[in-house]
Chain A
Amino acid sequence: MTVWEKLRPYGMVAPSIVIFSMFFIYPIFYMIYLSFYDWNFISPTKTFVGLQNFKDLLLDEDFRKVLSNTTVYTLLTVTLTTVLSLLLALWLNRKGFFHAFVQGAIFSPHIISLVSISLLWSWLMDPEYGLLNWVIGLFGFDKLQWLSHPGTALVSLVIVAVWKGLGYNTLVFIAGLQSIPSDIFEAAALDQSKPWTTFRRIILPMLSPTIFFLVIINMIGSFQVFETIAIMTQGGPVNSTNTLVYYIYENGFRFFKIGYASAAGVILLAIVGALTIIYFRLLSSRVHYR
């Protein structure tokens, strides 16, 4: 083996490793470093403040509101998306042109820019001239304020997120259903197993890796929701839709509280990191069926 042959693999992975180190690994450490400092981005000096940023964050009313908003948003979005898409998958899991068409239709929002989706739904949810208020009016309901009322704004954002994510989740579930070996279903049919029993005893356990995968990536995705909030509500009304990434964005880019924003970033990183670790722990121990 020549020297060149020994070095070749390193040369081949080097560009990617350099990119990841520069724009991923290093920034993580830089953010942790910044979270211990007070800095406004313009001043040449950073002041070391220890854990002060974290203390301030935990005492900040707004930040607690932001944390609770993010949690409520995530729980609602993930639960609704997972349950609804599992039901849809069981219903739509069939071959044929028509079913493919329906699957394509519900999937389509997934590949559309969140900008378009946010603008479109802002218009649909317009309190005066929105189509949604007209539709619920047909069923005799009063007009809703949707995004302009603190009581309904967060739920409105959840509706948009579920609408966007439903198709993708459904298709992943369908892929999961189709990977269940058909002889298991045949055996269940021979045993005259009832549909509910088949679902509970066969489909649910066999799908558990898929369910788990979707719950985790939906959770990670929801925790960092930004686009819909930046375009549809800007965190309002009265902070009712302010969430973590948007909060970091505002503190960093509007108020130039770099250290403070970094500390919030570190907290978000810890949450997402914990979710990821839980995912891989459980993946390697419990939910595997093979």
Chain B
Amino acid sequence: MKATKSGLLVETGDAALTRGMEGSRGNRISLIRAGRAALRVLNWLCMLLLVLVFALPFGWMISTSLKTMPETMIFPPEWIPKQPVWQNYADAWNTGPFLRYFMNSVIIAIGILICQALTIIPAAYAFARYQFIGSKLLFSVVMVTLMIPAQLIFLPVYLELSALKLLNTHLGLILPFASSAFGIFLLRQGFMQVPEELIEAARLDQAKEWKIIAKLMVPMVKPVLITFALFSFIAHWNDYFWPLVMTTNETARTLPLGIAKIREVEGVATWNTLMAGNLILVAPILVVFFFSQRHIIRAFVYSGVK
């Protein structure tokens, strides 16, 4: 019994000893662990804060668009309005000929896209694949166009379009962008990367040149094409400057102009109506962004880098 007892004692003593040792090491480990955990929590908190800085303004936009005018002035703010006022969207839509604005935006952005597809693909192909006299000079025209921003020369372009009687027309807003130096530059890189053997093989098969381009080359550069199309559509859908400068009446005005005008119409800013109008403009882009985020980010980021 005694032996057992002492054995037990020893055992407990040993256990206590090991426990103690483990305890001090464990303390240190758990301290490091706690430190790491704290750092991780801090890291996550900072990231949350960062996301908030970008998400809150959009959240506030949605929230405001569903409030009554007096509700927009209550502080601390009510993030979710008790009774969402969908009427604000109708009000915003009715401040001007919004159906026309919307149609104009679609016609112009799509029209530019179609024209660009027709002009850029052959030009990029020629610059990438043919050797011809004067190609360097002609390509330098593309490079100059690429480097100097178009916003600098709106005044002479306005005078030119006015002389051509193209102000206030869809054509007048499409033509200056019917080709894109940036697009040619991007696509040319794409075409240059297609191995020469592929084309040689097709030529041996007596394929016609336009067939080689349409059936072989264009599918090869499809990712670049999608990238550029996204880039172009978003840029022209969002554009405020050119439609503003090149129109003097409502005939060809686009959605961004209509939205910006809500503010002028009301005199006193009715922020709820304004934010509703704003969402009409932003929502399509945000929805597209949500579903093709990777494509869009690549379109903007990687096209710039290389």
Contacts and interface: CB of A to CB of B under 8 A. Distances in A.
Contacts of A8: 126, 130, 209
Given A23-B157, A106-B50, A116-B282, A10 B297 contact: no
A272 B149 CA distance: 8
B194 interface: no
Interface string A169-204: 001100110010000000000000000000000000
A79 to B, nearest CB: 19
A120 B149 CA distance: 26
B300 A31 contact: no
B201 to A, nearest CB: 19
Given A16-B123, A110-B300, A111-B234, A30 B160 contact: yes
A48 interface: no
B195 interface: no
A12 B125 contact: yes
B164 to A, nearest CB: 9
Interface residues of A, number: 88
Main secondary structure of the interface of B (DSSP, over half): helix
Contacts of B135: 9
A268 B152 contact: yes
Interface string B210-227: 000000000000000000
Interface stretch (A59-67, A70-78, A147-155, A224-232): A224-232
A104 B297 contact: yes
B241 A16 contact: no
Tell me whether chain A's interface is mostly helix, strand or loop, or mixed. helix
Contacts of B60: 120, 123-124, 131
Interface of A: 6, 8-13, 15-17, 19-28, 30-31, 34, 41, 88, 92, 98, 100-116, 118-124, 126, 128-129, 131, 134, 163, 167-168, 171-172, 175-176, 179, 210, 213, 217, 220-221, 224, 226-227, 230-231, 245, 248-249, 252-253, 258, 261-262, 265, 268-269, 272-273, 276
4 closest cross-chain pairs (CB), A and B? A113-B238, A27-B156, A12-B122, A16-B179
Interface of B: 47, 50-51, 53-58, 60-61, 64, 72-73, 75-77, 118-120, 122-123, 125-127, 130, 132, 135, 138, 141-142, 144-145, 147-160, 175-176, 178-179, 181, 184, 209, 234, 237-241, 244-245, 256-257, 259-260, 263, 269, 271, 274-275, 278, 281-282, 285-286, 289, 293, 296-297, 300-302, 304-305
